[in-house]
Amino acid sequence: MSDPIPSFVFSRTRRVAERAALALERFLHVEAASGIVLLIAAALALVWANSPAADRYHALWHLPLTLGIGEWIHVQSLHFWINDGLMTVFFLVVGMEIRREMHDGALSNLRLAALPIAAALGGVVAPALIYVAFNAVAPTHAGWAIPTATDIAFAVGVLALLGRRVPANVRVFLLALAIIDDIVAVLIIALFYSGGLDPGGLAIAVAGVGLVLALRAFGAGSAWAYVLPGAVIWIGLLRLGVHPTLSGVVLGLMTPVLPVRRRRGADAPVAAGTDAATDAQHASPEFEEAPVTRVQRTLHPWVAYGVMPLFALANAGVSLGGIDLGAPAAHSVLLGVLLGLVVGKPIGIVAVSWLAVRLGGARLPPGVTWGGVWLIGLLAGIGFTMSIFVAMLAFDDAALLAAAKLGVLLASVIAACIGLGWGWLHLRNRTDVMRTGTA
């Protein structure tokens, strides 16, 4: 007869599950609310850029801003510090969310993650192919990755408008897909939108990573301790030729996911992940919240309600009068982005998901129907933040960049409207079927 399972195993499993559910609920709530703020900021930018005060709008973001200490002086426009500086914090939160999901979330189990991974890849390939079909030659082909991104805040925000009738696993599926989408976007930026690599910059970035590892080895638990190493990584990537915001992803992926023992008097800290730490965690509540959870919870509202709306305000201001859609290049860019997001995203996600399930490599989560997968695919066509970010990396030409931004804005609005319409019909029919089945 086997020994009974200790009661603390059940209590610990329950605590972990409750903590994960609470973190997910908090994340989804912030994303849903921030989607509205993001929409307001984008609308304000669009109106401002096409008003009599348009000159002031553009002049604001070109104001020079100087940052530095001693001889280390860096002068750049306000636009640069928002897109290359503040957005690093956005990518930090993205990196930490990826790290957390890989540890105890939707990406922690390959079988569990198989369907959102397959769906996300389909949602990247199909839009890219549609875009390239309209933009096969230079210079417009450089924007092939613009329609491959999904905006988590907008997508979750629109989904929240459908109310609590939306099955919980549909929300989780959309979140997992969007996170994987972010991973792909980060890889695309690093591999395809980086300039010539400077070995000196690589050495600086590696030194920054070394500082982070050293601080972790010495048990530094304060987030402020990692600001300087993070800045070193940022400077290294900037000199390397890789977009410096990716330093946020690097830091996020290196953030510890296990709790650390609190110091009590002269007691030495117990390393998280060891048998002693596990036993101590079972026996007493002397463990702090995991750093990745604590830091992400602190930064997420600032990013959602501050960084992202500011990014939208600085970048969504497309001057409609300056776009010549009669020009073949601008027209093809706009059409490629628009169709890539509105048509390519849902078709790619649903088709590859169906193929993965059909071949037995994945299965639909409980409570998720194919109508729910279509809903996810339609909402994934809301690109916005990451799509605009990639557009600015892809195009130096102001006309092409404006056409790409307009395509992203139009596609996001259309995808949101179609997604809401489909979601309302699907959930109403689903409710009617459930009532009929239980009658």
Q: What is the CATH number of the domain that holds 340?
A: 1.20.1530.10
DSSP letter for 318, please: -
pLDDT digits (tens, 9 = 90+) for 44-86: 988 998 889 888 988 998 898 887 676 677 788 888 888 888 8
Residue 202 lies in a domain: no
Alpha helices in 141-222 (DSSP H): 152-160, 168-192, 199-217
Going from the C-alpha of 356 to that of each of 97, 125, 204, 255, 263, the distances in angstroms are 25, 15, 42, 32, 49
Cα-Cα-Cα-Cα dihedral sign, residues 361, 365, 371, 377: negative
- The residue with greater pLDDT, 41 or 349, is 349
Residue 183 lies in a domain: yes
Measured distance CA(429)–CA(234) in Å, rounded = 50
Residue 37 lies in a domain: no
Q: Predicted confidence band at 414 (pLDDT cuts at 50, 70, 90)?
A: very high
Residue 305 lies in a domain: yes
Tell me what pLDDT residue 19 has: 59
- The residue with greater pLDDT, 23 or 363, is 363
Residue 1 lies in a domain: no
- Output the pTM of the full model: 0.73
Question: Is the per-residue pLDDT at 284 higher than 70?
Answer: no
Instruction: List 339's β-bridge partners, or say none.
Output: none
Residue 279 lies in a domain: yes
Which residues have a Cβ under 8 Å from the Cβ of 328 and sit 6 or more positions away?
none
- The residue with greater pLDDT, 278 or 391, is 391
Residue 4 lies in a domain: no
Residue 232 lies in a domain: no
Tell me what pLDDT residue 12 has: 52
Measured distance CA(379)–CA(343) in Å, rounded = 11
Tell me what pLDDT residue 308 has: 84
Range of the domain at 367: 43-193+243-438
Question: Structurally, how many domains does the chain consist of?
Answer: 1
pLDDT digits (tens, 9 = 90+) for 161-211: 887 778 878 888 888 888 888 888 888 888 888 766 677 888 888 999 999
pLDDT digits (tens, 9 = 90+) for 332-387: 999 999 999 999 999 999 999 999 999 888 888 888 889 999 999 999 999 888 88
